[in-house]
């Protein structure tokens, strides 16, 4: 028996709860803030490090955005700075894969990237919110050109394998039909005084008018097929010119079908503070930010330097390191102070004499599992066949989503899709596969939404973050409990070492968190130096 048929229908209270899911982005923001997500950046302009460091030296571990921000500001303040970086390039998780790149993950799997010239895939960060002021300011100061990133596209899809016979539905259809049915339900409740709320006659009339406009209801407060509803959800036949000009209204989906599909749960994503438009991306790939920092700091970065030990005493800090590619003899780098931006997932494997509290904090922080896929297609079928220009399609398939490139619109030719961004259990399952198998599965799943995958796919790449040697995970995952117990210790200066990175912030996983953490650590370290 069909389980969806045998279950009783939702109560009015449950229906109103569903409405709250859509309308309650403020409540969602509050909850996410408590967990350390979705907060506005506190950045208000370049820091001013006043006072003479008297030739003090600083060793920065890691040339990601946190490390390079700290190095740039400290050097500008008069410090002698050196950076040790595990990789052959700067940027850390601020990373793009292009033709000619070679990436080897844990387990020995090597990918030789074959995208056509000019195309790329961002395995890590891929968008910048408008309220991430520090990232935007450094982009402006370092000459990184930005362009819009399309987060919400009303013509993209919402897809569930368990609804509408597995056929993807346009975002605009689900959104406007859901709004319409909800507005009709609420209008009936208001008219029948069923909400048991004290309201004046004038308030009631205003609310009904607002519901009529918001939900595209007719004069009888019904959400039905009409030209008016089609002005929101789109027409079955669009208005034209000449003898074929007359439009044909489209038929709304049934309320029960939308509710049972669960697709309404995706409608609020673009309302969340961290995903509100406008959003941005660097022209030419996310790595343009890291490259811009690298140009400023090229002369003080030692690449391919794998830190193997970190020691400190009352006089300074010593980091032991080897060549990350060839091994060989152990070398050392010393300084008066250290800004360590190595992810805690990696720090657990580096012998050190940091305090017991700091090591407890390091050990207490797990890192999220995620996998991303870049898929090159021989033609931009999403634009040519389906009029999808940028934006994101969401699905309950293991790939989770498909993001369409927010550049090169309407030019034809090839394009690289973000063919999936998986978390949790699905991420672990994908990570257990070879990169080639991951890509093959991503193409199979994507073809359930876009059959054109089968003839258009050319080449792909995938990054499972738990297999990335220099992060061993995507980002640090604090809980309220672990943050309360360990966060302050993790952020405090430990002897002559201070930690920085997205994991030492209340904006985890974002570049903004990494930069703000570095600025805070740099400011406190400078105060310690100049004040003695």
Cβ 317 vs Cβ 334: under 8 Å = yes
What is residue 22's predicted lDDT score, i.e. its pLDDT?
44
DSSP 8-state class, residue 267: T
What is residue 272's predicted lDDT score, i.e. its pLDDT?
87
Closest C-alpha to 502, from 523, 477, 527, 528? 477
| Dihedral sign computed on CA atoms, order 88, 514, 280, 141 | negative
Closest C-alpha to 218, from 230, 203, 204? 230
CA 509 to chain centre: 7
| Length of the chain, in residues | 532
DSSP 8-state class, residue 252: P
What is residue 28's predicted lDDT score, i.e. its pLDDT?
35
- Domains of the chain, CATH where assigned: 3-34+171-261 (1.20.1440.240), 57-88+300-364+476-531 (3.50.50.60), 97-126+146-155+278-282+368-467 (3.90.660.10)
What is residue 204's predicted lDDT score, i.e. its pLDDT?
76
What is residue 427's predicted lDDT score, i.e. its pLDDT?
96
Neighbours of 469 (CB within 10 A): 14
* Straight-line distance from the first to the last Cα atom of the chain, in angstroms, rounded to the nearest whole number: 75
What is residue 18's predicted lDDT score, i.e. its pLDDT?
45
Cβ 522 vs Cβ 52: under 8 Å = no
DSSP 8-state class, residue 484: I
Structure tokens at 86: 């595990």
d(CA 407, CA 412): 11
- For residue 185, what is the enclosing H or E element? helix 171-191
d(CA 10, CA 61): 55
What is residue 19's predicted lDDT score, i.e. its pLDDT?
47
**Secondary structure in 3-state letters for 126-146:** CCEECCCHHHHHHHHHHCCCE
Report phi then psi at 317, rounded to 5: -130, 140
Report phi then psi at 422, rounded to 5: -105, 150
Cβ 101 vs Cβ 126: under 8 Å = no
CA 174 to chain centre: 24
Neighbours of 18 (CB within 10 A): 17
What is residue 210's predicted lDDT score, i.e. its pLDDT?
83
Count of alpha carbons within 13 angstroms of residue 408, beta-carbon side = 18
Structure tokens at 63: 């040339």
DSSP codes of every residue in 314-379? TTEEEEEEEETTTEEEEEEEEESEEEE---HHHHTTS-B---HHHHHHHHH--B--EEEEEEEESS
What is residue 43's predicted lDDT score, i.e. its pLDDT?
87
d(CA 251, CA 225): 5
What is residue 102's predicted lDDT score, i.e. its pLDDT?
97
| Dihedral sign computed on CA atoms, order 65, 66, 69, 72 | negative
pLDDT tens by residue, 56-108: 999 999 999 999 999 999 999 999 999 999 999 999 999 999 999 999 999 99
Low-confidence ranges of the chain (pLDDT < 70): 1-40, 193-199
Closest C-alpha to 81, from 292, 333, 290? 333
What is residue 35's predicted lDDT score, i.e. its pLDDT?
40
d(CA 74, CA 49): 8
Report phi then psi at 49, rounded to 5: -95, 95
Structure tokens at 121: 């895939």
Structure tokens at 433: 């596969």
Which parts of 396-483 fold into alpha helices (H)?
A: 424-431, 435-446, 453-456, 480-482
d(CA 264, CA 276): 18
What is residue 41's predicted lDDT score, i.e. its pLDDT?
75
Closest C-alpha to 139, from 274, 301, 298, 282? 282
């Amino acid at each position: 028996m069909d389980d969806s048929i045998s279950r009783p229908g939702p109560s009015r209270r449950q229906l109103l709860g569903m409405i709250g899911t859509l309308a309650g982005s403020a409540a969602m923001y509050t909850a996410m803030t408590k967990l350390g997500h979705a907060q506005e950046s506190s950045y208000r302009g370049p820091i001013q490090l006043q006072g003479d460091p008297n030739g003090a030296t600083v060793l920065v571990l890691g040339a990601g955005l946190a490390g390079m921000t700290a190095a740039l500001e400290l050097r500008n303040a008069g410090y002698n700075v050196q950076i040790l970086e595990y990789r052959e390039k700067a940027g850390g998780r601020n990373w793009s894969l292009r033709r000619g790149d070679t990436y080897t993950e844990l387990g020995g799997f090597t990918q030789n990237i074959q995208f056509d010239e000019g195309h790329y895939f961002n395995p890590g960060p891929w968008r910048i919110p408008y309220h991430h002021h520090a990232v935007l300011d450094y982009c402006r100061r370092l000459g990184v050109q930005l362009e819009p990133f399309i987060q919400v596209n009303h013509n993209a899809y919402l897809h569930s394998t368990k609804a509408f016979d597995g056929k993807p539905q346009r975002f605009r259809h689900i959104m406007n039909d859901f709004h319409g049915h909800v507005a009709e339900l609420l209008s009936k409740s208001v008219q029948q005084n069923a909400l048991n709320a004290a309201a004046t006659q004038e308030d009631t009339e205003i609310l009904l008018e607002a519901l009529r406009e918001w939900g595209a209801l007719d004069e009888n407060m019904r959400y039905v097929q009409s030209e008016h509803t089609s002005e929101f959800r789109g027409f079955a036949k669009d208005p034209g010119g000449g003898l074929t000009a007359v439009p044909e209204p489209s038929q709304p989906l049934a309320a029960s079908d939308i509710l049972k599909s669960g697709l309404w749960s995706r409608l609020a994503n673009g309302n969340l503070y961290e995903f509100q438009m406008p959003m941005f991306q660097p022209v030419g790939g996310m790595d343009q930010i890291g490259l811009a920092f690298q140009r400023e700091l090229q002369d003080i970065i030692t690449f391919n330097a794998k830190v193997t030990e970190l020691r400190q005493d009352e006089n300074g800090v010593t980091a032991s390191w080897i060549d990350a590619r060839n091994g060989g003899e152990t070398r050392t780098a010393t300084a008066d102070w250290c800004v360590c931006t190595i992810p805690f997932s990696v720090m657990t494997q580096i012998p050190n004499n940091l305090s017991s509290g700091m090591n407890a904090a390091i050990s207490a922080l797990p890192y999220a599992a995620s996998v991303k896929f870049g898929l090159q297609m021989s033609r931009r079928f999403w634009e040519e066949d389906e009029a999808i220009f940028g934006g994101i399609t969401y699905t309950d398939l293991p790939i989770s989503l498909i993001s369409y490139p927010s550049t090169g619109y309407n030019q034809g030719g090839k394009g690289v899709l973000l063919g999936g961004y998986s978390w949790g259990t699905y991420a672990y399952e994908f990570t257990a596969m070879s990169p080639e198998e991951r890509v093959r599965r991503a193409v199979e799943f994507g073809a359930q939404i876009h059959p054109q995958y089968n003839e258009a796919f050319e080449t792909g790449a995938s990054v499972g973050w738990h297999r990335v040697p220099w992060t061993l995970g995507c980002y640090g995952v604090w809980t309220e409990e672990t943050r309360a117990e360990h966060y302050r210790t993790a952020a405090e200066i430990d002897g002559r070492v201070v930690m920085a990175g997205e994991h030492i912030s209340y904006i985890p996983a974002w570049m903004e968190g990494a930069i703000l953490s570095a600025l805070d650590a740099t400011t406190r370290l400078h105060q310690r130096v100049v004040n003695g």
